[in-house]
């Protein structure tokens, strides 16, 4: 989740003159689901109101439509929604098209999509005050649109480190 109260991160300031980023104390934000094609650098993100197994299942169906042929291997963390019983019939039905590979627990450095979220936060969110979730949403969409225009940059930044 890209929250509306991002922290100051990696900033320089004179001693005693720490930069202050205002906040309005609400716990709102933008919830994103995304995939990153490490071969092409294509990034596909969708924003949702919540994270749960139903939303993740709908996302998976969208991924299969986005890539209508061939086998898709998804590298995932061990979030509960990735192991939900609700997914089992869908995964069984699509076992020839969709395979999950789960990363070890607490290993975000192995997960390329976590690199994308970190990049997004460092470029767009951190050290900035957004007065509304709408502004956060616009900034996030702008970032995704801009990196989508230069897939080689995505590959160089996120995929070559593996």
pLDDT tens track, the chain, 162 positions: 565 555 556 666 778 877 666 666 666 778 899 999 989 999 999 999 888 999 999 999 999 999 999 999 999 999 999 999 999 999 999 999 999 999 998 888 888 899 999 899 888 888 777 878 888 889 999 999 999 998 888 888 887 755
> Tokens in use for 131?
């007065």
Any idea what the Cα angle at residue 108 is, between residues 27 and 95, rounded to 5°?
100
Residues listed for the chain: 162
pTM for the model stands at 0.81
Strands 72-76 and 98-102, sheet pairing: parallel
- Considering the domain boundaries, does residue 16 fall inside one? no
98: domain range? Answer: 30-125
- Considering the domain boundaries, does residue 43 fall inside one? yes
- Considering the domain boundaries, does residue 111 fall inside one? yes
> Tokens in use for 18?
């720490």
Mapped onto helix, strand or coil, the DSSP state of residue 10 is coil
Residue closest to 31 by CA, chosen among 13, 14, 50, 18: 50
The whole-number pLDDT of residue 156 equals 85
Name 68's Cβ contacts closer than 8 Å, sequence gap at least 6: none
- Considering the domain boundaries, does residue 15 fall inside one? no
CA distances to 27, 45, 76, 143 from 6, rounded to whole Å, are: 11, 20, 25, 16
- Considering the domain boundaries, does residue 134 fall inside one? no
Domains contained in the chain, number:
1
- Considering the domain boundaries, does residue 116 fall inside one? yes
The whole-number pLDDT of residue 42 equals 93
Alpha-carbon distance of 27 to 5, in angstroms, equals 8
- Considering the domain boundaries, does residue 47 fall inside one? yes
- Considering the domain boundaries, does residue 107 fall inside one? yes
* CA terminus-to-terminus distance, the chain: 24
34 in Cβ contact with 43 (< 8 Å)? yes
């Amino acid at each position: 989740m890209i929250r509306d109260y991002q922290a100051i991160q990696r900033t320089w300031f004179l001693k005693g003159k720490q930069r202050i980023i205002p906040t309005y104390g609400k716990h709102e934000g933008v919830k994103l689901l995304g995939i990153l094609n490490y071969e092409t650098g294509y990034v596909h993100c969708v924003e949702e109101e919540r994270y749960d197994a139903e939303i993740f299942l709908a996302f998976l169906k969208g991924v299969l439509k986005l890539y209508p042929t061939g086998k898709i291997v998804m590298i995932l963390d061990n979030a509960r929604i990735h192991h939900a019983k609700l997914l089992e019939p869908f995964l069984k039905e699509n076992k020839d098209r969709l395979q999950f590979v789960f990363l070890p627990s607490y290993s975000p450095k192995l997960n390329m999509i976590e690199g994308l979220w970190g990049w997004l936060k460092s470029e767009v969110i951190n050290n900035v005050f957004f007065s509304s979730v709408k502004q956060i949403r616009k900034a996030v969409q702008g970032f995704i649109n801009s990196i989508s225009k230069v897939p080689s940059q995505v590959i160089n930044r996120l995929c070559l480190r593996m």
